[in-house]
Amino acid sequence: MESDYAIIGGGVVGLSIAWGLLKRGRSVTVLDGDDGSFRASRGNFGLVWVQSKGMNQPRYARWSQESAAAWADHAAELGDATGHDMGLRQDGGLTLFFSEDEMEKTVSDYETLKAKLDGNYPYEILGGNALRREEPHIGPSVIGAILHHQDGHTNPLRLLQSLAQDVRRLGGTVLTGKQITGVEKTDLFRLTCADGTEIRAAKTVLSAGLGAIDLGPKMGFKAPIRPQRGQVLITEKMPKIINRPSLIARQVDEGGIQIGATNEEVDFNDDVTQDGIAHLAADAVNAYPILGKVNLIRSWGALRILSPDGLPIYQESAAMPGAFLVTCHSGVTLSAAHARFLPDWLEGNANAPDLEVFSEARFS
């Protein structure tokens, strides 16, 4: 089988790129894992998020903003093609504060970033009363919030499903249950799988999440990434009680309250722990006391894909030109950018986004 592109990894990142390339008339084969693979795409929190990103690297803040701004079209186009509602809401997101000091520090950081972004950082500070007008169920221990107008959230599982469906509709080949065992390049890339499948392609994108730890070095990348566990909760479906999402809780379009998330360095362990979920529950009830009476339905653990500085990596291989590493923590937020802007970078077009700061050159 021969295509213009072989995409290694069929999660939100790989499928977004595949979708974008297919829209430009390229032929694409996506190689995906199995039912037990670590899949950030089905464990994430569903935020389309700008605030607090790129505090030390304004390009990352801008890249997130560019993607968030393209999300409405992205969701509409996918929705029209598949009949699914992406559940996208972009009317702002909240960071909740429990002390004045904490809030002041964050505001000062946001001001610094705002200056670097030429003033494009629309946020406002909500005091306790203003916040309670917006979110009547906020508890007394929350003293205020920052409302950032570029934030929002979506239904990440419907995004995944829609991408999986539309990539096929557009003529992409998606092979599942594949484990890549070898990558070679002569005039074409030749990818071999554990089950004997062989794929040939002119270019290859490695977007396999944590799978890049093993595969990256074989393709000439440093791929210095690591797993970080996040445990997440979801409750029974409720009438509307939370308007805007925060990093603590959001109400999904189906009605459940999603509560997140732990940050744990526990290697490749995606278990749920009692300590983890009990503290998530306690923090959520502290912020929204009404949640105390709500039934927890499910919890899960998923692994984030983190680089040392938390920023994405976009790198073409020096050893194997035509092979690209794409990896990031925020696959949902960046889905629009990956579908709409990244193909220009992969194709080497003049209007390609400038992703120089995200290269592996930053890792010595």
Whether 65 contacts 151, CB under 8 Å:
no
Q: Which stretch binds another protein (CB under 8 A): 106-114, 138-146, 273-281, 354-362?
A: 273-281
Helix (H) or strand (E) holding 258: strand 256-259
**DSSP H stretches of helix in 182-241:** 212-218
C-alpha to C-alpha distance for 200 and 30, rounded to whole angstroms: 12
Q: Which of 35, 101, 118, 265 binds another protein (CB under 8 A)?
A: 35
Which of the stretches 18-26, 122-130, 285-293, 313-321 binds another protein when contact is defined by CB under 8 A?
Answer: 285-293
| 3-state class (DSSP) for residue 82 | helix
How far, in Å, CA of 281 to CA of 288, rounded?
Answer: 10
| Beta pairing class for 256-259 and 249-251 | antiparallel
- Write each residue from 1 to 20 as x if it is in contact with another protein (CB under 8 A), else as -, in one continuous string: ---------x----------
Please tell me the distance from the alpha carbon of residue 297 to that of residue 126, in angstroms, as a whole number: 32
Site residue total, another protein (CB under 8 A): 44
β-pairing, 144-148 vs 93-97, is antiparallel
Of 233, 218, 69, 232, the C-alpha closest to 152 is 69
- Please say which residue, 107 or 175, places its beta carbon nearer to another protein: 175
CB 242 within 8 A of CB 251: yes
Site for another protein in 164-203 (CB under 8 A): 164-165, 168, 174, 176-177
* Amino acid code (one letter) for 304: R
Q: Which of residues 118-157 bind another protein (CB under 8 A)?
A: 157
The secondary structure element, H or E, covering residue 283 is helix 274-287
* Distance from C-alpha of 319 to C-alpha of 178, rounded to nearest angstrom: 24
Of the candidates 24, 105, 133, 279, which one interacts with another protein according to CB under 8 A? Answer: 279
**Which C-beta is closer to another protein: that of 292 or that of 308?**
292
Among 1, 2, 24, 34, binds another protein (CB under 8 A): 34
Among 4, 27, 42, 52, binds another protein (CB under 8 A): 42
Stretch in the footprint of another protein (CB under 8 A) among 110-118, 130-138, 190-198, 288-296: 288-296
CA distance linking residue 175 with residue 172, whole number of Å? 10
Query: Residue 140 or 348: which CB sits closer to another protein?
Result: 140
The least CB distance from residue 282 to another protein, in Å, is 4
Min separation Cβ 28 and another protein, Å: 14
Q: Which of residues 294-353 bind another protein (CB under 8 A)?
A: 294-301
- Scanning 64-72, 184-192, 199-207, 267-275 for contacts with another protein by CB under 8 A, the matching segment is 267-275
Spatial contact of 201 and 175, defined as CB atoms under 8 Å apart: no
Question: Which residues make up the interface to another protein (CB under 8 A)?
Answer: 10, 32, 34-36, 39, 41-42, 157, 160-161, 164-165, 168, 174, 176-177, 233, 235-236, 254, 259, 272-275, 277-279, 281-282, 284-285, 291-301
